[in-house]
């Protein structure tokens, strides 16, 4: 079934993920998903969505951009990321994201540790298997732990990685709530109706708002624009990988050593891929914003859909 004939939007797409999980009116979907993911470790009753752009303290500290960021009713913060393609520095980026959230809690001028840090978690939904595979299970839960005793050292900082390719259960094999959510993420875009095993009201709601025919003209416009750019972005990333490899070859040849050549190849390929991913995502946002301006969309709506600054939108 092609993207144009699907009954439901793809929850793994950038548009689909934010449409289904990122809207304040439908926040019960995110709450139910997080509660299933933490499997009793936490019980979240409410969340507030936060800005997804986090600036550094000065120009030397670059901005970071999250897919979604929300705060639970106990003050805990959740970064929720959708990642379809792997890259070598993915784990480092996850640690950097959480460290930025922790650093934001620091009170300037207060040298006394009289305030307990709020809990911070990163949830990553991955359409690939991580290189540092720690388990055959599709969910990896990672926290600070004493390697000698196996006991948790600090439970206020943690990672949840959902590796979707590892989930192979069929519809009649779903055992718990998390199984149902992962099945939905993997298969929704190819389904024609709600499976009978997804019988809770929250699943009925998510299928209801995921119907292609129920998208507003504005939402349909954004959805189609993003799909139109996907092939171009894929080609751009491959081009960046190729140019990065060429750069690595030049670096390795200059060093004149076999070890240097290998290091150069890896460095150049990683730099090219990372640069290509960031550039492609930004150019997609600019292209969508440009089309929306041509259609006389309100600037605030353009900013909301694309996460671009008002300055960038006004300059188009």
Residue-wise pLDDT for 215-270, tens only, equals 988 888 888 877 777 656 655 556 665 666 566 556 545 555 455 445 555 555 55
- Is 5 inside any structural domain? no
Residue 9 lies in a domain: no
Q: In this structure, are residues 9 and 15 in contact, taking their beta carbons and an 8 Å threshold?
A: yes
Looking at per-residue pLDDT, the higher value among 289 and 157 belongs to 157
Cα distance between residue 12 and residue 171, in whole Å: 19
Q: Is residue 3 assigned to a domain?
A: no
299-306 vs 217-255: helix axis angle to the nearest 10? 50
Domains: count for the chain? 2
Alpha helices in 45-159 (DSSP H): 90-104
Across the chain, mean pLDDT equals 81
Query: With 90 as the cut, is the pLDDT of residue 80 above it?
Result: yes
> What is the span of the domain harbouring residue 235?
217-315
C-beta of residue 28 within 8 angstroms of C-beta of residue 36:
no
Residue 183 token pair: 């099945």
Cα first-last separation, the chain: 36
- End-of-domain residue from the set 159, 182, 214: 214
CA dist 301 → 1, 251, 298 (Å) = 31, 45, 5
Instruction: Tell me the sheet residues that pair with 122.
Output: 79, 159
What is the rounded CA–CA span in Å between residue 137 and residue 167? 8
Question: Tell me, what's the pLDDT at 1?
Answer: 45
Residues 42 and 93 reside in one and the same domain: yes
For residue 172, being part of any structural domain is answered with: yes
Share of the chain above pLDDT 90, in %: 38
| Separation CA 168–CA 36 (nearest Å) | 18
Read off the pLDDT of each residue in 181-207 and give the average, rounded to a whole number.
93
Residue 194 shares a structural domain with residue 258: no
Residue 4 has pLDDT above 70, yes or no: no
What band does 61 get if pLDDT is binned at 50, 70 and 90?
low
pLDDT in tens, 126-154: 999 988 767 889 999 999 989 999 898 98
Clarify whether residues 208 and 235 are in a common domain: no
Percent share of the chain, pLDDT over 70:
77
User: Of 159, 191, 214, which closes a domain?
Assistant: 214
List of residues 6+ apart from 180 with CB closer than 8 A: 36, 174, 197, 198, 200, 203
Instruction: Give yes or no: residues 189 and 224 share one domain.
Output: no
Q: Distance of alpha carbon 238 from its chain centroid, rounded?
A: 21
53 & 167 share domain: yes
Within 4-64, where are the H helices? 14-21, 27-38
Does residue 153 sit in the same domain as residue 121? yes
Residues 298 and 197 in one domain: no
Of 214, 233, 249, the residue that ends a domain is 214
pTM of the model: 0.74
What is the C-alpha separation between 189 and 217, in angstroms, rounded?
20
């Amino acid at each position: 079934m092609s993207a144009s004939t699907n009954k439901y939007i793809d929850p793994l797409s950038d548009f689909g993920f934010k449409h289904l999980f990122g809207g304040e009116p439908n926040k019960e979907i995110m709450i139910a998903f997080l509660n299933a993911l933490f499997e009793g470790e936490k019980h979240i009753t409410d969340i507030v969505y936060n800005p997804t752009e986090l600036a550094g303290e000065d120009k030397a500290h670059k901005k970071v951009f999250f897919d979604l960021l929300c705060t639970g009713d106990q003050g805990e913060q959740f970064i929720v990321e959708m990642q379809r393609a792997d890259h070598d520095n993915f784990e480092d980026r996850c640690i950097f994201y959480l460290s930025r959230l922790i650093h934001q809690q620091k009170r300037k001028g207060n040298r006394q540790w009289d305030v307990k840090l709020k809990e911070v978690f990163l949830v990553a939904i991955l359409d690939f298997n991580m290189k540092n595979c720690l388990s055959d299970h599709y969910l990896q839960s990672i926290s600070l732990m004493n390697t000698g005793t196996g006991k948790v050292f600090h439970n206020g900082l943690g990672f949840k990685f959902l590796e979707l390719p590892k989930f192979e259960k069929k519809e009649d094999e779903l055992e718990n709530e998390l199984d149902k959510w992962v099945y939905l993420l993997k298969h929704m875009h190819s389904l024609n109706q709600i499976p009978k095993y997804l019988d809770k009201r929250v699943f009925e709601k998510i299928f209801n708002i995921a119907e292609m025919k129920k998208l507003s003209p504005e939402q349909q416009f954004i959805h189609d624009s993003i799909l139109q750019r996907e092939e171009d972005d894929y080609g751009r990333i491959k081009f960046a990988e190729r140019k990065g490899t060429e750069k690595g070859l030049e670096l390795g040849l200059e060093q004149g050593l076999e070890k240097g050549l290998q290091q150069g190849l890896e460095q150049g390929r990683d730099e090219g891929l990372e640069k290509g991913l960031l550039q492609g995502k930004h150019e997609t946002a600019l292209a969508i914003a440009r089309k929306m301006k041509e259609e006389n969309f309100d600037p605030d709506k353009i900013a909301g859909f694309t996460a671009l600054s008002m300055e960038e939108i006004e300059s188009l």
